[in-house]
Each structure stands twice: as structure tokens, then as C-alpha cells.
Amino acid sequence: MTPNAAAGPSGAPSAGGLTAEERLLRDTAREFAQREVAPTAIERDEQERFDRSIFTRMGELGLTGTPLPESIGGGGFSYLGWALVMEELGAADMATAVTLSVHLLSQFPVLSYGRPEQIERWLPPMLAGEALGAFCLTEPAGGSDAAALRTRAERIDDGPDAGGYRLTGTKIWISNAPEADRYLVFATVDPSKGPKGITAFLVEKGVEGFRFGAHEKKMGIRSCPAAELIFDGALVPAENRLGEEGGGYRIALSSLAEGRISIGAGCVGIARSALEQAAGYLQQRKAFGAPLAELQGLRFMLAEMARDVAAARALVHEAARAKDRGEPLGEVSSLAKWTASDTAMKVATDAVQLFGGSGYSRETGIERLMRDAKGAQIYEGTNQIHRSIVADAVLKRSATPG
């Protein structure tokens, strides 16, 4: 297996429990990822280059709206089907998976909280892969603490723009910026209200008073851009407020729960790729007159890697099925993202070790898997935050009679 290739049949998710449509979707995503994403993954990472043509091609295949309803132009697939897509992309290139995950993350709130005219105006170009989306929450003073954001949204009470808002503040670490065309921005109408002041807005690239600052120089997922957003009195018309004033915090948290499942699935892909590439290497590489695969210590490492990949996938799929059943996602999405990202980091690190010097070289792409996995332990809520969410859920259950 070549260093850029995703997992073969032994590492891929089994067809058990999948519908014919989900299997076809998975196979389509796998073929696309291997043919059009994986071959340039190392090069794009090295150059920190975003390739818009890959996103456009995903739109042509219908991947930019996979789990959204057919009635609005989406694919109409289950969220489990979406998790399968994300695993295939993560196995080929996590940067591409993150770009697509964030794009979907910026659409879900519009579907769930938008007025019919907002949905009709905002989503079709995004569903078609013609407009790239970004989700804008993190600020210099608040990452995991979403309620601490300070970007202001000042209401305009008179004049030609009455009813609208002017945004002032800074966002950082915004994935897909500055390439994105449409931005879901969270700001507060009153900082003294805490979470109750946070409101969501739909902002288009090119609006006066909205510009980009520093581009992040990241350790991993380097071909998925991330940049600073600067708002200096940017005008947002009243019709671009999403939901009610003060409803943004709830919108953000509900959307992030969905996004965590997506990122978890991509991390399963990273781990799967690391496992399969390590297995191939151990069979090919010889030492002391025999293939490395005959050394029991290395075989046991490989077995533990396989165990961890399967366990992470099971948690991700259970979270995706919970989404499909309409169940609460807080605890199950945190379990999935936390476990899958830790698994990706451990399995990728073990793969580097098994490859030896070749694994440490940027030319093979193995170390890229480890760098990409490290980021996933931090974004979409740090894994320390997810431990807290899970602990809260466990304690709440134990305190409830019966």
C-alpha cells in the first residue's frame, strides 16, 4: 500500500447494518478520496495549499450536502451515511475532511433555525458546492468557553439601515477562511447578559467592514486554511439575523454536537489509514532475516491498533445513529469525538514508531497523520472539555432516582 492510500478492505467499515444506499455512498466517497484527494495530500500539506477544485468536485458528487434533506437540494442520506463519507475523506486527507465538516457545520443551523426565505436564499449554493461555508465562534479571549465571546452586534435603530446590526470584533482560528464565501458569525448584543446575549448572523464575504487578518500557521491539517476575521462596523441587515436575539448560544452548542460526530468519523479514517499502512509496511520490511510482521511484539502493537480503531468506529456510528433517531447528542457526541481523536493520535503515533526512520520522514506521509490527529484533540472542543461533559452526564444520571 502506498503511503497516501486509505485503508483497504481489512480496515474499512463492514457492510453490516448499512443500507444499500449507505454502502453506495461509502464506496463513492472512497473512490473519490483515493482517486482525487489522496494523490496530492502530501504536496498540499507541504505547500499549505487549499485546492478549491477538490471542494468543487465534492459538490458535483453531492457530498457538500450529503445529510441534508432532498427537499432543499441535499442528498437526503442518514447521518450514519455522512459519518461513512467523513471516514473515507479522513483516511485520505484530514484537511479535506475538516473543510467539508466545517462547511456542513455552517449549514445545519440555517436549516434548523432559519426562516424559509433564509433557507431558500442561503443554502442552495452551499449545497451545490458553489459557495464554501465557515463557522465563526472562537475569539482571542474565548475558545472552549463559547459564552465568553466579545464580538459586538450593535442594533441600528434609525436611518436607512434601521433594524440591522453592525458587527465589531475579532474571530480567530476560523477554518476555511479566507477561502469561504459565507460565514455564520456569533456575536453578542449585550456582553452583560453572558450566553443570553449571543446572537447568530449570516455574513457574506466582501461586506464592507469585514476583512481578514493573520493566516494561521498550523502544525497539521495545513491544506485546510484558517484565518483571523476582523469586523469593523460591518453591516448585517435584519434579514441576516439567524433566529432570535439571544438565541445564538443554543444554536452554536447544538451545531457543535453534530460537528463532533463528523470530526470523530474523520479521526477514525486517520487511525484506519495508519493501521493499514503499518500492516503493509511490517509485511514488506525485513530485519534479522525475516519480515517485521513475524516479530510478536510488533504484531501485538498492530492488534491493539486494530482494536482501538474498531472501538472508536463503534462509538462514532452509535452517535450518528443517535442523531438519526433524533436523540440528545451531548454525551454521545463527546464520547465519539474524544475517543476517536485520542485513538487517531495513539494509532498514528504507533504507526510512526513501526515505520522507524521512514515514519519520521515527511516524504512518506505517516508523520502527517500524527500531526493531523493532534489538532483533532483540540478543535471542536478540547478533549478535556469532553471529559467534563461526559462526567456531568454520568453524575446527573446517578443523582436521578430510579
Catalytic positions, written as ranges: 380
Cα 141 to Cα 156: distance, rounded to the nearest angstrom: 26
Give the SS3 label for residue 381. Answer: coil
Grid cell of 25 as nine digits? 455512498
Query: DSSP letters along 207-275, please?
Result: -TTEEEEEEP--SS-TTS-EEEEEEEEEEE-GGGEESSTT-HHHHHHHHHHHHHHHHHHHHHHHHHHHH
Residue 268 and residue 185 in contact, taking contact as beta carbons nearer than 8 Å: no
Cα 275 to Cα 190: distance, rounded to the nearest angstrom: 49
Query: DSSP letters along 25-89, please?
Result: HHHHHHHHIIIIIGGGHHHHHHHT---HHHHHHHHHHTGGGTTS-GGGTS----HHHHHHHHHHH
Nearest to 365 by CA among 344, 348, 342: 348
Q: What is the largest CA-CA distance in the chain?
A: 83
How would you classify the pairing of strands 286-287 and 241-242? unpaired
Nearest to 268 by CA among 103, 97, 44, 124: 97
Grid cell of 152 as nine digits? 459586538
Query: DSSP letters along 149-201, please?
Result: ---EEEE--SSTTTT-EEEEEEEEEEETTTT-SEEEEEEES-GGGGGGGEEEE
Give the SS3 label for residue 7. Answer: coil
Cα 110 to Cα 92: distance, rounded to the nearest angstrom: 29
**Crossing angle, helix 94-105 and helix 79-92, to 10 degrees?**
150
Give the SS3 label for residue 134. Answer: strand
What's the chain's length in residues? 402
